[in-house]
Amino acid sequence: MSIDQILLVYVLSTLGVISLLALGSELRRRSFNPRPSEDRVFRCEGCGYVYTDDADVDRSRCPQCGTFNDAVRF
């Protein structure tokens, strides 16, 4: 083997190892981080309480005072 071939194999193997480590790190990070919630955020117009409810609910009753509220739009 020539010097050029030895260097090519060394560089490619190093890049391969780094790529595998990066892939493993990304898969590990994804498995530990929670997924964002699909719930909607509501703020009560009567008492100011902030709460969440299911994504398929357009209006929700406040758990503290019972007032119906629309979802907060960001």
pTM: 0.52
Mean pLDDT value across the chain: 90
pLDDT digits over 1-19, tens only?
A: 899 999 999 999 999 999 9
Q: Which two tokens stand for residue 12?
A: 């490619």
Banded model confidence at residue 32, pLDDT cuts 50, 70, 90: confident
- pLDDT, mean of residues 15-32: 93
Environment class of 42 (CB within 10 Å of its CB; exposed 0-12, middle 13-18, buried 19+): buried
- pLDDT, mean of residues 8-31: 94
The end-to-end CA distance of the chain, in Å, is 63
Please tell me the predicted confidence (pLDDT) of residue 74: 77
Alpha helical stretches, state H, the chain = 3-32
Domain ranges of the chain: 1-33, 40-70
Give the pairing type, strands 68-70 and 50-53: unpaired
